Amino acid sequence: MSRGILQEAEAEHIVRLPKRVKGPNNWQQRDDGNWYMEMPVEAPEQWPLRLYGRFNPRTGCYTFILFCGTLNVRRLDVGKRHHNPDCNDVGPVHKHTWTDRFGDKWAYEPSDISSANSIRETFFAFLAECHIAFEGQFREPPQTYQKGLL
């Protein structure tokens, strides 16, 4: 990670490293009504890695991100369509991958998961791609919106 920005080769290197997180993954609701989880990621090399998740109970959309510092190494979005810089659209389940040219703006449609999969299945598929082992108990985000009357 040079000059505070990630290079594509570094991002791929980080993804390939065997890593682990220790559960449970606790969710917390913030003022904006979304549920969030964050976990430090252990790796054999000194990278500032963390696993982040956000679930919006009002839309059902959710996001998981493998961060290196403040940059997305991999990002999974479910429930939102995406437009790539080459003008191709990708579907409501897509993964952002870090590239030198486009930063985190490039996304592709994964073949192993779809909207039909549960959050649990999607989460573990994302972890598998990122070579992250999960130890402990996985917790689903609460499905309720608890911020009072709409």
Partner 1 sequence: MKSCEELRETMLATLPLLFVCQEENNRLKISTPYLYPNGDYIDLYLVETPNGLYLTDLGETMGYLADYSIALKQSSKRRKIVHDILLTHNVELFQGELRVYLEKEEQVAHAVVRLSQAITQISDLVFTLRLGTRTTFKEEVEEFWVEYGIPFERDYVVIGGSGESYTVDFYLSVPKHPWLVETLSSQSRSYANTLVSRVIRVWHDLHRVDGRYRYLSLIDDSADVWKAEWLDQLAEFSEVIAWSEREKLLQLLKAASGQGKASL
What are the residues binding partner 1 (CB under 8 A)?
1-5, 7, 10, 13, 30-34, 36, 44-47, 52, 54, 56, 58-59, 61, 63, 65, 70-71, 75, 77, 80-85, 96, 100, 104-107, 147-148, 150
Q: Is 41 helix (H, G, I), strand (E, B) or coil?
A: coil
Least Å distance between CB 39 and partner 1? 15
In the bound state with partner 1, the residue whose beta carbon lies nearer, of 56 and 114, is 56
What CA–CA distance (Å, rounded) separates 52 from 106?
Answer: 19
Residue with Cβ nearer partner 1 (60 or 136): 60
113 vs 92: CA distance, rounded Å: 11
In the complex with partner 1, the residue whose CB is nearer, 9 or 137, is: 9
Sheet containing 107-108: order of strands: 28-29, 35-40, 49-55, 62-68, 71-78, 93-97, 107-108
Q: Distance (Å, rounded) from C-alpha 77 to C-alpha 140?
A: 16
Of 19 and 96, CB closest to partner 1: 96
41 vs 68: CA distance, rounded Å:
10
Smallest gap from residue 132 Cβ to partner 1 (A): 17
Sign of the alpha-carbon torsion through 71, 33, 56, 23: positive
Query: Of the two residues 40 and 85, which places its CB atom closer to partner 1 in the complex?
Result: 85
Q: Least distance (Å) from partner 1 to the CB of residue 90?
A: 9
**Closest distance of CB 41 from partner 1, Å:** 14
